[in-house]
Structure 1
Amino acid sequence: MDIKDNAQLKILVECAPIGICILDAQTFVAEMVNDKFLEIARKPKADIIDKWYWDAFREVKHLYQAALENVAKTLQPYHADEAEVTLIRNGQAEHIVVTFVYAPVKDEHDKATKIAVWVLENTLQVNARKKVDRDNALLEKERNRLYEVFMEAPAGICLWTGPDLVYEMVNPAYQRILAGRNLLGRPILEAVPELKGAPLIDSMLDTYHYGTPFEVHELHVPIADYEGGPTIDRYFTFNYVPRRNLDNQIDGVFNFVFEVTEQVIARKKVEEREKHFRHLADLVPAKISNALPSGEVTFFNQHWLDFAGMGFEELRDFGYHQMMHPEEIQAFQDGLGEAAKTGIPFVSEMRFKNTEGRYIWHLNIASPILDEEGKIQMWVGSTTDIQKIKEEEQRKADFVSLLSHEIKTPVTSIKGYIQLMKREIGKDSFQREKISGGLDRLDRLVMQLTALVSDMLDLTRIETGHLHLNKKPVDLDALINEVAGDFKMTNPERELMFSEQGNFTVAADRDKIAQVLINLISNAIKYSPADSPVKITTSQNSDGISVSITDQGIGISEKDHKKIFERFYRVEGKGKYQFSGFGIGLYLANSIIELHGGKLSLESEPGSGSTFTFLLPKEE
């Protein structure tokens, strides 16, 4: 080449968009190098120009020296596509990817005078492509895992693609719903022609065209058990969800389906008038929440929202910790910390404030969900209302305390009378009147204890379902007169008024109805002034025969009307501890009347007395 050619070559080298280094073909000394080559090499120009090429690139000499020399000998170029090499750049070893060519530059005699080294760095592009490949492989793996989950799911799952909704995937549970039909590769209206004209198809197409999710519970779908067979009434719960591709375009619709025909038909037989079906989403009775490892709540179920009287955003921003009882916050936080360390759920009983400002007892379980490395992925909280259980425990505790008192009082009196009579008998001359009076009192105390034990036995029999009735025709008026007569003997100062309306006979257990009368009359006497009468009346209507006991006592507030028949329930308020008893008399009476097929009711207002009425069916 002449000087003019070298000048043109120099301009070409300097303006090229890729790295170029021109070497002497005999000595491999660098004669020209452009800025792009220096940018890739990241070595000083003085370390390359006019130097043997391998002095500058000793770190790759063992890899490519032979290839370069072979180019000079054979005049055949050498190509290296996306070669991964370790190069010393800016004094540091770096792992890079380059595409380069050793190309001979020939003279007019077809001899190599120079060798051009063309180089392009591909590190970023190759790494980006590898990341895409890894991501695609991971995506494919996840898709395969998801496919396996779908195949094993108990719910019927299928995938429709295209505007004709062609079956692309069907899991075994879905195939069982449409047993005997060939589904794959067929449009839904071809595979299931019974659906032509059904609104269900419009919902599927809305999901496909517009991405509108669709969910319906217990939908009536006339469909055949097998292809071509007669249609029958079947019921399904559906959920349509759009599938999107990597470009976020909808290319299919997932259908999740449960057949609930048996459940719906069973319920319809029991509840023929019911027109609306229940949704399946809120069957769990507990308050459920989810939170991130940081504690930020991401979900409250409807039970939580109803309890708090807030929407999700309101409750999340308010912080349900604000609803906790102040005395329990520190223990809760300590428990969460321990659960985070050990991975063991933290279980505690704690109080939360409801919309009325009242603290309600709950059983709270905070469970950390861990990944394979033992790190917390999320928290799941389950909070169950145990207020009634707490109240029941308290009533039982109160019952035991009162029962102890009720037993201790007559036992103490019995002991006192026995000691008194022993002293009297020990005298040379004792008074028979004292002994006789003491024995009478002992007899009443023993009867009191016997009645108490009888109530306890009946309570146990009722709770275990072993209280049996010995039904016979009972003259109700005679029984009332007998019980009232016993009360007149023990309470001669109290006026008992029985207004007989007829000669009523019922089929009943005489002793149990007597027990009901005794409980109601004794309550009337206990909770009313000593100089006020207690009235007993009977009446008859088409439903049966009613007996009413009316007093002029303290009365009962409306809020206690239903609770007063509960086991161990005693009315709160002034004077509570002025009366003995421990809350089972009315419970036993109500249970006995219900076993007879009757009903015990109450009419009362505070300060206006009470009327308890029980209704018994007439003797057939």
Structure 2
Amino acid sequence: MPTPPASLPSLPAVELHALLAVSFSALALWRPLYGPDGAAVTDFACEYLNPAGQQMLGQPERPEQTFLTLFPNACENGLITCCCRVFATGEAGHFEANHPADGRDNYWHLAARRGGELLATSFTDPAGETTLRANHRAEARQAELLAAAQRRAQEREEFAQVFAHTPAAICIQCGPAHRYAYVNAAYQQFFPDRQLLGRPVAEALPETVDAGVVDLLDAVYRTGETYYGHEQPLLVARPGGQAPKPMYFTFTYQAYRENGEVVGISTFAFDVTEQVLARQERERQRQQLEDLFMQASAPIVVLDGPDHVFTLVNPAYQRFFPGRELQGKPLRDALPELADTPVPTLLRQVYTSGETCVAEEMPLQMARSAGGPLEEMYWTFSFQAHRDAHGDIDGIRAFAQDVTASVRARQQLQEANQALTESNRQLTRTNTDLDNFIYTASHDLKAPITNLEGLLHLLQRVLPLPARQQEGVQPVLDRMQQSVDRFQLTIAQLTDLTKLQRAAAEPAEPVDLARLIEDVCLDLAPQFAATEARLTVDVTGGPRLAFAPKNLRSLVYNLLSNAVKYHQPGRPPVVHLRSHRTENGAAVLEVQDNGLGLNARQQAKLFGLFRRLHDHVEGSGIGLYMVKRIVENAGGTIAVSSTPGIGSTFTITLPGTALPETTTAV
């Protein structure tokens, strides 16, 4: 009796069935059936009978029978127990029992097969030399086939070890249903929650049916021709109601042959999802960037390669050259007038070094239309290296801005500023000459007027009394004296004008405004008494103001003296002097009176030099001019609001420290 192998070879079912079919012994493959507890084997289902086994048992190749159905006395004679032991331990065994049909002795050879099957071998040993020799020959042939199968199993085991550690996903699918016979770890990782081995692909991966995968496998199985798939998409179902996961594979389906016949398909696949999604993202970003370039208001072009070929020209750039074709042309052909300019050199430097270059307000002679006249244009460029997916420079992005209008406007402004500077220089010289003239005139006129005044006094002393008492003599002498007085006043004010420009440079210092007003009022006391004037002072925001003391006194004096001088006849003057703080920290000084008032035409001439708007009151017309000059030299402003017959309000705004509230009546 031959000794069975320790275990059956780990061959796909198609190959194992082909091997068992040529055996003269009755052979069967059984799969265990478990009891309700799932732990113990209670029976075996017959999955395959070779031809000898079919003849012996009178059953088809795949009978729908269990072991105990075909062999009802297997429990009593211990055969089922022996089968369970071989299946549990993996060690081969044998069992002798009577055939249930004719009572002849049968010898069972039992061997476990990896994958959960059991091989049961049954043969009958009748008396007779011929039959025994035939059986010996059959057993020898079976041993040879089994050895060959073991060699193939060993080879497949070695290949399986290689396949198990390769990053490629590999599987073998057998039969027209493409049932999984082998999957390596890399393939199983594609579908970590799926049971693949032993199942047809349409059952294990139903999503492959709609994706056309099964059709491809059918074609390879039918024709034997290898199929190459490149980055094929597949929506892989996920558990728990999750949305399908998009995956991409590059793979080959290759026919698997036995004895020249296609018995299955081997698959070599690579998951390229990450690469495809990364490329799609780069393409999305590239398209987004291109859309941004095309919609940008700034002129943008992309130049490709060392010849700087226009591969992208946005509308803003093309509008500068409406009659010229740029797309697809090298720079030297599209804009030949740039050949002798710095632009080609700058582009080569950026293309070689990768460093960004910015050229501001570059003057270029360019034609807007093909064959058109050259015109001077000013451009500001930014040249940036464009890199491919490997980081190598393959082009240049150029951002351009036509700044011709702004450059010419600045040039015109510079010319205007130069002209203004020259005008200011001439005006300064004129003002200096005028100041020198005023100073010289006032200085040179002092002596004659003084002499004239002395002669007038001498005349009044030496003139006999009868002569002075003659009709008209004394009034003439009085008018002469008044003229001399006015002349002296004018000379004094002209002298003040020459000092005004020098006083503008005097440093500011804290001034007690309330005390300064009191001092001015003492000087004006005779005028206040003569006109019965009433002055109300309301100073708020603090007792001090940062200003040049002489200039501030001149402001207050002139405004208060004018308020009293130009009062309404028959109405005592009422003057209000107020001060308050502004939000930006400036001090505002207001002088309001109830005097004659001014119409709009008079207000327009109010601050002119030597402007006198009321002839019935003596004056030189220089006081308010000096007030305006002092205020403006200090960076302040002066404004007037006036109504004829009602009065006027002068408002001076001066930068400085605000004053606290106090109220003083004079």
Q: Does TM, normalized by the shorter one, top 0.5?
A: no
TM-score by length of 2: 0.38
TM-score by length of 1: 0.40
Which protein shows a greater Rg? 2
